[in-house]
Amino acid sequence: MTSLTDAITKQNQRIFDICLSSSNLSENELDDALILAVKQKSTECVGKLLKAGADKRCPKQQPPETCPVKLAFDKCLCDIIKLFIISGYDNSHVKLYLSQYRDMEGYAELSRWQYHSHDVMSLRSMCRLWIRHYLGNMFYHNLLTLPVPDRIRQYLLMKELDEV
């Protein structure tokens, strides 16, 4: 257990923020923390981890029970599912998981979200994903060194996740 996952388990937001701002986090640590945050039903932690670059996509060799999106659907966590949809999760998987969704109240709302997310990704969105991937593990540090206006920096930081 890392200090990041320990902070999620103990629901200590201050320690979580400190650990997340560390520039030496590996991709595996972020991915493990994302799975744990979903299990703990921590919408705030999931949003921050997605912004930090945690991978919400599930490799084919990975068992389905360790997929953070599948866990969110299994636990009927509507707000967390919206975060995954907004941050660009694979629509075919969302459609599959939505067909097995148990909460009928949330089904209609999530269907609308999935429908709108099914639109073709704009060039702007693709550029954001590419830049975030290119900046890598030290995303926050590297973003501060980019000579771009604050508005673009806010877009790259996925500030719209704060509004969900």
pLDDT at residue number 130: 77
Encoded amino acid at 62, one letter:
Q
Q: What is the pLDDT of residues 117-155, one digit of tens each?
A: 655 566 777 777 777 777 776 777 777 788 888 888 888
| Cα separation, 15 vs 9, whole angstroms | 11
Q: Are 21 and 52 in contact (CB under 8 A)?
A: no
- Band the pLDDT of 162: cuts 50, 70, 90: low
- pTM, two decimal places: 0.69
Domains, in order of start, for the chain: 3-163 (1.25.40)
Q: What is the pLDDT of residues 89-100, one digit of tens each?
A: 766 677 777 777
For residue 15, the SS3 value is helix
